[in-house]
Amino acid sequence: MQAKKAIDGPIERRAPEIGQRYERAERALAERWPGLRGILPFLGPAFIASVAYIDPGNYATNIAAGSTYGYRLLWVVLAANLMAILVQALSAKLGIATGRDLPELIRDRYGAAAGWFMWVQGELVVIFTDLAEFLGGAIGIHLLTGRSMVESAVFGTILSFLLLELQRRGVRPLEAAITGLVMVVTFSFVVEMFLSGVEPAPLMRGLLVPTFPDAEAVFLAAGILGATAMPHAIYLHSALTKRRVTARTPEEKKRLYRLELLDLWIAMGIAGVINMSMLIVAATLFHGQGMVVEEIDDAARLLGQFLGPAATLLFAVGLLASGLSSSSVGILAGDIIMQGFIRFRIPIYVRRIVSTIPPLAIILSGMSPTTALLVSQIVLSFGIGLALVPLVLLTRDRRVMGELANRPLTNLLAYAVTAVVLALNGYLLFSTFRGMAV
C-alpha cells in the first residue's frame, strides 16, 4: 500500500519522510485490533484542537472563579470540558464521514453569500482568539524576562513565526510541537496544584455538587464556558480529520472514528486537568486568604509570594507555552476558514503579520490585558452559535454522514449542549452590556 499523495493546503501537506507513518495507519485501520503501536499514528488531531481549551482566556476566567468562590465552580469546568468533548467529537466525525471540513459543507449547503458572511465572522473570531493568545504569550515573556510588554510582544512575534515554519513542514511536526507545549502547560499547573496544598473534601464537593452561590457566579460560569467552547476549534477539527487517514468502507470509517475518540478523550482529558488545576490553585491560595484576583500578572506575583519564585517561573512558562501553541492553532484555523468559506488562501506569514496588529495596538495603548481578554470572550460568544448549530444539523443528516449520522441519543445530547452553550453565552453578553450601560 502506498502513502497518499500530498494535497494542496496546510492540513494535508505531508513531508516525504513521514509517508510511512500514514501507510502504517492505513494498514492498522484495516485490522480490527491494531494494538498499541497501531493506535499511535491516529493520535494528534485532538491535541491540536484541545489547545483552544487551554488558552490564556481560560487562565483569566479560571483564576477569577477560583479566587472568588473557592472550589464551588469546579463542577462548571468539568461540565464545560464534557460538553467540549461532545462538540469536538461531532466535528471530528464530520471530517471522517465526508472527507470535507465544516466551512466547506456550510458553503455548499447554504450558498456562496452565506459563505462570505460566515467567513467575515469566522475571521473576527480568529482575530479575537489570537488577541487573547498573543497577549498571554507576551505576558508570559514579560514575567520571565522582566522586559516591557512591547518588547515581550515583539519577542513573542518572533517565536510565533518559528512555529509557523513547523506548520509549513506539515501537520505531523506541528502536532509534535503543540503536544510538547501542552505537556509544558500540564506540568506547570499540576506541580503548582500539589505545591499549593489542596483540600480534598471541599474540592470533591465543588466537583460533584452543582451550585451557584450568587448571580455573579452565573456570570463567571458563563465566562468559563465562553473560554472553553471555541468556535475556531469546531471548524478546525473537521479539517484535521477529513483526509488524514483514508477510510474506504463504512466499517473502516467507524473504526477510524472510534480511534479518533480515543485521541479526543486523552487530549481533552489533559485539557480538563489543566483547567481544573488553574481553578484549584486559585481557590487554595487566593480564596483561602480572602483575595479576589482578576489580573493574570497579579496571580503570577502572588504565586511567588505564597509558593516561592519557582511558582512564578512555572506559571510564566505555562502561560507562554499556552499562548504560543494557541496562537499557532488560531492561524491554522483561519486558513481553514478562508479556504472553506470563500475558496481563497493567503500566505500564512501574511496572516500572522495581520493578526499581530490588534494585540500590538492594545499593548501600545496601555489597555489592561485582562480587559482585552474579556472583550475577546464577548466576540467569541457571538461566534459559537454560528459554528455549533450548523455542526449539529449536518451531523444528524444521514444524507451527509451516511452510517456515521448521529444516533437519537447523540442528537438529544447535542441539542441540550447547544441550548446550554447559547443560553450561557447570551447571559454573558447581556450581563456585560448591562454592566457597560450602568
pLDDT band at 2 (very low <50, low <70, confident <90, very high): very low
Q: Is residue 6 part of a domain?
A: no
What's the confidence (pLDDT) of residue 49?
A: 84
Q: Is residue 11 part of a domain?
A: no
Residue 337 in any domain: the answer is yes
pLDDT at position 6, please?
A: 35
Report whether pLDDT(185) > 60: yes
Higher per-residue pLDDT: 31 or 142: 142
**Most confident by average pLDDT, 176-190, 242-256, 315-329, 402-416:** 402-416
Percent of the chain with pLDDT over 90: 26
Output the pTM of the full model.
0.85
User: Which of 189-198, 234-243, 287-296 has the largest mean confidence?
Assistant: 234-243
Q: Would you say residue 249 lies in a domain?
A: yes
pLDDT for residue 280: 92
What's the pLDDT score for residue 75? 94
According to the model, what pLDDT value does residue 29 have? 61
Cell 488562501 belongs to residue: 345
pLDDT computed for residue 93 by the predictor = 96
Q: Tell me: the pLDDT tens digits for 370-418?
A: 666 666 666 676 788 889 999 999 999 999 999 999 999 999 999 999 9
Is residue 11's pLDDT more than 50? no
pLDDT of 343 > 50? The answer is: yes
Residue 22 lies in a domain: no
Structural domain total, the chain: 1
CATH of the domain at 267: 1.20.1740.10
Question: Residue 378: what pLDDT?
Answer: 65
Least confident of 39-48, 152-161, 344-353: 39-48
Would 133 be classed as within a structural domain? Answer: yes
Q: Say if 82 falls within a structural domain.
A: yes
Position 403 in a domain: yes
pLDDT, one tens digit per residue, over 251-292 is 888 888 988 898 899 989 988 988 899 899 999 999 878 888
For residue 18, what pLDDT band results from cuts at 50, 70 and 90? very low
179 has pLDDT over 60: yes
Mean pLDDT, residues 318-343: 88
Q: Specify the pLDDT at position 7.
A: 36
- Residue 173's pLDDT is what? 72
More confident residue, 255 or 100: 100
For the cut 80, the answer to whether the pLDDT of residue 334 exceeds it is yes
* HEC per residue, the chain: CCCCCCCCCCCCCCCHHHHHHHHHHHHHHCCCCCHHHHHHHHCCHHHHHHHHHHCHHHHHHHHHHHHHHCCCCHHHHHHHHHHHHHHHHHHHHHHHHHCCCHHHHHHHHHCHHHHHHHHHHHHHHHHHHHHHHHHHHHHHHHHHHCCCHHHHHHHHHHHHHHHHHHHHCCHHHHHHHHHHHHHHHHHHHHHHHHHHCCCHHHHHHHHHCCCCCCHHHHHHHHHHHHHHCCHHHHHHHHHHHCCCCCCCCHHHHHHHHHHHHHHHHHHHHHHHHHHHHHHHHHHHHCHHHCCCCCCHHHHHHHHHHHHCHHHHHHHHHHHHHHHHHHHHHHHHHHHHHHHHHHCCCCCHHHHHHHHHHHHHHHHHHCCCHHHHHHHHHHHHHHHHHHHHHHHHHHHCCHHHHHHHCCCHHHHHHHHHHHHHHHHHHHHHHHHHHHHHHC
Q: Residue 295 and residue 307: Cα distance in Å, rounded?
A: 18
Q: Mean of the pLDDT values across residues 89-104?
A: 95
What pLDDT is stored for residue 383 in this prediction?
Answer: 82
Residues in the chain: 438
If one compares 113 and 160, the residue with the highest pLDDT of the two is: 113
Structure-model confidence comparison of residues 214 and 37, the more confident one: 214
- Average pLDDT of the chain is 82
Domain that holds residue 55: 40-434
What is the C-alpha separation between 267 and 145, in angstroms, rounded? Answer: 30
